[in-house]
């Protein structure tokens, strides 16, 4: 375990779980694409409580389909509410929780 700041590449490659809490901006839209989750160590996971568009949902779903050793927990998706057959809902290693703000009408 390290107490030094690390970049996103090292964070995703070394962490047991990465939890994303960033706001949605032009810079963070699609921030977590294919490269970062594909570099995660075996058995690692990603939690997203940021806006649904921060992870690139299709890229993340593709990596999770290829790497059944990884998991993800998503509080929101893009779009929200999700469309029927949305990729995260088709994978056994993804849990989508009901977003509390969305349930209250606050997005």
Interior angle at CA 18, CA 12 and CA 23, nearest 5: 105
What pLDDT, on a 0 to 100 scale, did the predictor assign at position 82? 83
Comparing 101 with 5, which gets the higher pLDDT? 5
Give the largest CA-CA distance in the chain.
Answer: 42
Per-residue model confidence as pLDDT tens digits over 42-101 = 999 999 999 999 999 999 999 999 999 999 999 888 988 888 888 888 999 999 887 665
Comparing 81 with 37, which gets the higher pLDDT? 37
**Confidence category of residue 20, pLDDT binned at 50, 70, 90:** very high
Determine the Cα–Cα distance for residues 69 and 75; give it in Å rounded to an integer. 20
What pLDDT, on a 0 to 100 scale, did the predictor assign at position 1? 60
Whether omega for the bond prior to residue 81 falls within 30 degrees of 0, making it cis, is: yes
Structure tokens that stand for 39 in this block: 């570099």
């Amino acid at each position: 375990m390290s107490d030094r700041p690390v970049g996103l590449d090292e964070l995703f490659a070394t962490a047991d779980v990465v939890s994303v809490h960033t706001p949605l901006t032009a810079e963070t839209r699609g921030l977590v694409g294919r490269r970062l989750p594909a570099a995660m160590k075996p058995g690692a996971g990603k939690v997203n409580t940021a806006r649904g568009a921060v992870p690139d949902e299709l890229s993340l779903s593709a990596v999770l389909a290829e790497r059944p050793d990884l998991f993800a927990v998503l509080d929101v998706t893009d779009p929200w509410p999700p469309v029927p057959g949305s990729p995260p809902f088709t994978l056994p290693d993804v849990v989508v929780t009901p977003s509390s703000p969305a349930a209250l009408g606050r997005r």
